[in-house]
Amino acid sequence: MKQTAPETPGERPGMPDSNGRYGDFGGRFVPEILMPAIAHLEDGVRRILPSADFIEEFQRELRDWAGRPTALTLAPGLGRQWGAEVWLKREDLAHTGAHKINNAIGQVLLARRLQAKRVVAETGAGQHGVATAAACARAGLPCTVYMGSVDIRRQAPNVARMKIFGAEVIAVDSGAATLRAAIDEAMRDWVCNPVDTYYLLGSVVGPHPYPYLVRELQSVIGREARRQLLEISGALPDIAVACVGGGSNAIGLFHEFLEDESVRLVGVEAGGTGSQPGEHAATLARGKPGVLHGCYSFLLQDGDGQVMETHSVSAGLDYPGVGPEHSMLKNKGRVEYIAVSDREALKALGECCRSEGILPALESAHALAGAQRLAKEQPGAKILICLSGRGDKDLDTLMSIDDGGFLA
C-alpha cells in the first residue's frame, strides 16, 4: 500500500452554528465558572486548529509517533462466513492500540499552545486514558485520569499502562462507577481548576466545542479509509459500520462519507443483556433528548429526567449519552443506529480472532456483530468496518466469560 501523509483537519461540512448546535442538538450547558475556559478553548480551536504550524506538527506526530496511516485490511475469512466483502480499518494498529490516540495527541498539542499547566481526562475502557497519558508524557504535561472503579477492575492492563506513562489515576466510586461517573468527576476537577487545567475529553460529547474538536481530530480515520479503499478496490463501500458509545470513532469514520449518498452508514450501540432499563447502553435506539455533561443530545433517562444506569460488556460503550452530531444524523436519517447484544459482540469477536488472526476490542466487536447482521440483509455487500481498537485489554473479561468457551 502506498504510504502517504495523513490528511489534515480543517473546515469541514457540518460545522455547528456559533452556539455549537447541530440542528437542535449540542450547545454548552456548563456552570458559569467554566464559561471563560470554554470561550478560551473555542478561540483556540478556531485560531490554532487550521494554522499551518499546528497542522504540520499534528500530521508529523500522527505519522512518526502514532503510526498513521493505519492499514486497511481485507478480511476474507469473515467475508466467506458472512457472504460479504469485508474491509477492516485497522485503528487497533495505531499507537497505544486504538483510535483514541488521534484525539489525544491533537488535543495535547492544542493544550500546549493554550499554555495549559495540567491535563485531566476521563476514561471508560482505559484506551482514552492510556492515549492521553502517553501524549502527555511526550509533551511533558502532568496528567490526571478519572476512571470508574468498576472499569479499573475490568480493564486492569490499561490502568497499569497509564501509571507507567506517569499519569495519576483516580478511582471514582459514585453512581455505577463507570464512564459516566468518571466524566462527572473529571468535570468537577475542571470546575475546581478552570484556569490552568486543560480538560481532554475523549469523545464527541460534552459542551461545544468538544464535539467539533474531537470530530476534526478523528476524521482522519474516514479520510484515510476512503482513499485507501478507492486506491485498492476502485470503489466506495456499500456500507460503513462503526460502534457508538460517545461516538468518536464512528463520527471519525462517517464524516468523510456523509456526502457519498450511495454509502449506507450504520452506528452500532451496545445492546447489553436486554432491552430493559439498566440492561443496555443503546442511547440512540432507546433514549430521548436531554442534557448531560454539557450537551443536549439523546440520553437514557427516566420520566423524571434522571440519567439511567447502563450495562455493556464493553466499558467503552457503557455510557448513557451520545454525541450531539449523532443525534442530528439520526434525526436526519443519514445514519442508521442499531444495537447488538453482549453475546452477539462476543461471538463476532471470537470469529474475527479465529478467521483473521485479529483480536478486536470488545467495543469494536460490536461493529463486527452489526456488520454481520447487515451482511444478512444485504448479501454480497462491500462492508467497511472501523476496527477501533485492539482487545488485549479485554483478556481478563474474555477469559472470565464462560471460561473462554464462547470462543469455541
Q: Cα-flanking dihedrals φ and ψ of residue 60, to 5°? A: -65, -45
Minimal distance, residue 187 CB to other proteins, in Å: 5
Q: How far is the CB of 20 from other proteins (least distance, A)?
A: 9
Catalytic site residue 382?
no
Q: Which one, 240 or 300, has the nearer CB to other proteins?
A: 300
The CA-based angle 304-342-163, given to 5 degrees, is 85
Active site residue 89: no
CB 33 to other proteins: min, Å: 5
| Residue type, position 329, single letter | L
Residue type, 98: A
Q: Name 205's Cβ contacts closer than 8 Å, sequence gap at least 6.
A: 183, 211, 246, 247, 293, 294, 295, 297, 321, 322, 323, 324
Least separation in angstroms between residue 133's CB and other proteins is 23
Backbone φ and ψ for 231, nearest 5 degrees, come out as -65, -45
Nearer to other proteins, 122 or 342 (CB): 122
Q: Is 56 a catalytic residue?
A: no
Task: Specify the DSSP class assigned to residue 303.
Answer: T
What is the DSSP secondary structure assignment for residue 264, as one 8-state letter?
E
Q: How many CA atoms lie within 13 A of 89 on its CB side?
A: 31
- Choose between 35 and 235: whose C-beta lies nearer to other proteins: 35
Catalytic residue chosen out of the listed positions 61, 85, 122, 356: 122
Q: Residues 341, 363, 388, 393: which is the catalytic one?
A: 388
Residue closer to other proteins by CB (options 124, 294) is 294
Residue 309 CB, shortest distance to other proteins, in Å, is: 9
CB-wise, 302 or 403, nearer to other proteins?
Answer: 302
Residue 306: CB minimum distance to other proteins, A = 5
Cα–Cα distance measured from residue 122 to residue 198, given in angstroms and rounded to the nearest whole number: 12
Catalytic-role residue among 100, 330, 347, 393: 100
Task: Kindly tell me which of 79 and 245 has the beta carbon lying closer to other proteins.
Answer: 245
Rg (CA), the chain: 19
Task: Please give the residue ranges that form the binding site for other proteins (CB under 8 A).
Answer: 19, 27-33, 35-36, 174-175, 180, 184, 187-188, 191-195, 290-294, 299, 301, 303-307
Say how far apart CA 394 and CA 342 lie, in whole Å: 13
- Which residue, among 153, 196, 216, has the nearest Cα to 394 in the 3D structure? 153
What are 265's strand-pairing partners? 240, 335
Q: What are the catalytic residues? A: 100, 122, 388
